[in-house]
């Protein structure tokens, strides 16, 4: 319930309805069975949000989004075997905007659906273009909880693969634990259908969500991505060392590949390699970079691995 108390009789009926709407919006955001009072601060927030939403719409129409790519390295061969596609927003007014800022708003407004569709299509298009140059790279794409609930992921993936001609066995879909826990039965079925097409599945930010053992058994998972927060302090913090060792041992025993996220230091790389971790992704190799920059990095990488 949204509540507005009008004492000085300045507002029109229309304005009162707008005020109570913004109070209602706040109450809904705070959960069910609750109420919120209208304040002038709320109007400011609602106006700001509407402006943001309009800018996001415009961004889609004007192609202001771009995918950056971050390399993923195989520990044993030291080869770049894949990339993660990470969205960036080149706002003409505010410059480069991080997904951490706009993805939550895109989710709340439902705009994540057309944005997510664009990401998948663009990543498959780029993956196919690289395949044609002889770059055999896995392409990881993030799919958010909202998309799982509201979009037909199978149809979306099928279309993106068909239009681009990209190989399904090079496509990796990254889901977080919380995305998998919603509508669990349907998600299990969907993941099995994707898996049957050859598409790989990764759990993103592993260890930060529910980390329930039962889903590790039920879901057809290929890769566990250990969250950066556990990687940050290895090999120095004993609890993190124990957690990372345990995730690697358990994941490998269950037949998954393990990827360490957010690896920045050589000490982390050495520790993870000694533990038998399969892949790493992090600033140690490269930050996420535009496609052209990635091509330069990849060519240098191939040359230096051939000289070894």
Q: Are 224 and 253 in contact (CB under 8 A)?
A: no
Residue nearest to ligand C2E (CB): 282
Residue from the set 4, 23, 80, 103 that interacts with ligand C2E by CB under 6 A: 103
Is 142 a binding residue for Mg ion by CB under 5 A? The answer is yes
Integer CA distances (angstroms), 234 to 88, 205, 231, 282, in order:
29, 16, 6, 14
Cβ proximity to ligand C2E, 121 vs 264, nearer residue: 264
Burial of 213 (0-12, 13-18, 19+ CB in 10 A): exposed
Cβ proximity to ligand C2E, 140 vs 275, nearer residue: 140
DSSP 8-state assignment for residue 219? S
Q: Which stretch in 8-16, 52-60, 96-104, 292-300 sits in contact with ligand C2E by CB under 6 A?
A: 96-104
Is 286 a binding residue for ligand C2E by CB under 6 A? The answer is no
Residue among 147, 132, 250 at smallest CA distance from 190: 147
Residue among 90, 81, 145 at smallest CA distance from 116: 145
Locate 268 and state its tokens: 């982390």
Is 175 a binding residue for ligand C2E by CB under 6 A? The answer is no
Q: Please report how close the Cβ of residue 39 comes to ligand C2E at its closest, in angstroms.
A: 31
Is 288 a binding residue for ligand C2E by CB under 6 A? The answer is yes
Is 243 a binding residue for ligand C2E by CB under 6 A? The answer is no
Is 71 a binding residue for ligand C2E by CB under 6 A? The answer is no
Q: Please report how close the Cβ of residue 225 comes to ligand C2E at its closest, in angstroms.
A: 7
Is 205 a binding residue for Mg ion by CB under 5 A? The answer is yes
Other C-beta atoms lying within 10 Å of the C-beta of residue 83: 29
Using CB under 6 A as the binding rule, the residues of this chain from 191 to 220 that contact ligand C2E are 204-205
Locate 143 and state its tokens: 């799919």
Integer CA distances (angstroms), 278 to 197, 238, 255, in order:
24, 21, 12
Residues binding ligand C2E (CB under 6 A): 70, 86-87, 98-100, 103, 116, 119, 142-144, 174, 204-205, 261-264, 281-283, 288
Site of interaction with Mg ion (CB under 5 A): 142, 174, 204-205, 261
């Amino acid at each position: 319930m949204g509540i507005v108390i009008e004492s000085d009789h300045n507002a029109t009926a229309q304005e009162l309805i707008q005020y109570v709407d913004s109070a209602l919006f706040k109450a809904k955001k705070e959960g069910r069975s609750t109420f919120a009072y209208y304040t002038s601060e709320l109007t400011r927030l609602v106006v700001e949000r509407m402006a943001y939403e309009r800018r996001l719409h415009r961004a889609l129409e004007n192609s202001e989004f771009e995918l950056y790519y971050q390399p993923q390295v195989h520990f044993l061969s030291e080869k770049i075997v894949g990339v993660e596609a990470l969205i960036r927003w080149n706002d003409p007014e505010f410059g480069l905007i991080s997904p951490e800022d706009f993805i939550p708003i895109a989710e709340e407004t439902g705009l994540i659906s057309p944005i997510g569709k664009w990401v998948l299509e663009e990543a498959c298009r780029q993956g196919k273009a690289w395949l044609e140059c002889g770059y055999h790279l896995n392409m990881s794409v993030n799919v958010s909880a909202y998309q799982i609930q509201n979009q037909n992921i199978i149809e979306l993936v099928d279309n993106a693969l068909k239009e681009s001609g990209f190989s399904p066995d090079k496509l990796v879909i990254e889901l977080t634990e919380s995305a998998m826990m919603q509508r669990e039965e349907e998600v299990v079925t969907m993941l099995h259908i994707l898996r049957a097409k050859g598409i790989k599945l990764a759990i993103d930010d592993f260890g930060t969500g529910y980390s329930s053992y039962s889903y590790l058994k039920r879901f057809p998972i290929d890769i566990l991505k250990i969250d950066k927060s556990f990687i940050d302090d290895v090999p120095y913090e004993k609890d993190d060392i124990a957690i990372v060792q345990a995730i690697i041992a358990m994941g490998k025993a269950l037949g998954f590949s393990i990827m360490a996220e957010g690896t920045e230091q050589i000490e982390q790389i050495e520790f993870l390699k000694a533990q038998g971790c399969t892949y790493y992704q992090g600033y140690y190799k490269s930050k996420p970079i535009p496609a052209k920059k990635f091509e330069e990095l990849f060519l240098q990488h191939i040359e230096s691995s051939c000289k070894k």
